[in-house]
């Protein structure tokens, strides 16, 4: 298990660059999170100020620097502008991670998140040595559930009142993808 990445891992897919977000990406991050359709199922409120985008970028940078996880900015190869993010929060003892993600609504239903998550899952299982990856989704988020199932995640059922954000408790459906389920 190598959770101690010495430098930020840059990944590339057919259409995407998965890279570390920088303060120069703040406008693009703000554009993603000012859309209430993006934040509807997210544990962040809809953004109203650029400082919120700087804060998210800084928290993600610190999470990586302190070895608690990695969050890639998803940028299109053609212009290198961030249109979303995806990444892991590590559970080192369990050799596992929880995956999280969001994408600007203009890019939904184009296979972009499938492409991005497939790349980071392969990285997590082969380079980090993860044994399994968890995802928790609000039951009404059908697009997210469909995405996870397409990637091979299996539902483990509903965790009642498991999340708390935006002033209320939320039921969460937990999904798991085991390394053993990955094609070699």
Of the chain, the percentage scoring pLDDT greater than 70 comes to 89
Beta-strand relationship, 132-137 and 96-103: parallel
Assess whether pLDDT exceeds 90 at residue 73. Answer: yes
Domain boundaries, the chain: 11-134
**Residue 139 has what pLDDT?**
85
Global pTM value: 0.90
- pLDDT for 114-135, tens place per residue? 999 999 999 999 999 999 999 9
Which whole-number Å values give the CA distances from 35 to 28, 103, 104, 160, in the listed order? Answer: 12, 10, 8, 27
**Residue 141 has what pLDDT?**
85
State how far the Cα of 22 lies from the Cα of 43, in Å rounded to an integer: 22
**Residue 94 has what pLDDT?**
82
**Residue 170 has what pLDDT?**
65
**Residue 165 has what pLDDT?**
53
- pLDDT for 147-160, tens place per residue? 999 999 999 878 66
The runs of H, that is alpha helices, within 81-136 are 112-123
Class of domain 11-134: alpha beta
Residue 162 pLDDT grade (very low, low, confident, very high; cuts 50, 70, 90): low
Contacts of 50 (CB under 8 A, 6+ apart): 26, 27, 30
């Amino acid at each position: 298990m190598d959770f101690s990445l010495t430098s930020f891992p840059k990944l590339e897919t057919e259409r995407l660059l998965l890279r570390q977000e920088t303060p120069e990406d703040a406008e693009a991050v703000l554009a993603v999170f000012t859309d209430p359709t993006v934040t509807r199922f997210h544990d962040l409120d809809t953004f109203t100020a650029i400082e919120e985008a700087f804060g998210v970028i800084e928290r993600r940078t610190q999470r990586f620097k302190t070895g608690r996880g990695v969050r890639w900015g998803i940028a299109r190869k053609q212009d290198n502008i961030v249109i979303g993010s995806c990444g892991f929060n590590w559970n080192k003892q369990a050799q596992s991670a929880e995956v999280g993600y969001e994408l600007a609504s203009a890019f939904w239903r184009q296979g972009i998140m499938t492409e991005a998550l497939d790349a980071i899952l392969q990285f997590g299982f082969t380079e980090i040595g993860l044994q399994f990856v968890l995802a928790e989704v609000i039951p009404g988020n059908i697009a997210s559930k469909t995405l996870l199932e397409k990637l091979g995640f299996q539902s483990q059922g509903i965790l009642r009142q498991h999340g708390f954000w935006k002033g209320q408790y939320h039921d969460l459906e937990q999904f798991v993808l085991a390394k053993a389920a990955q094609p070699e």
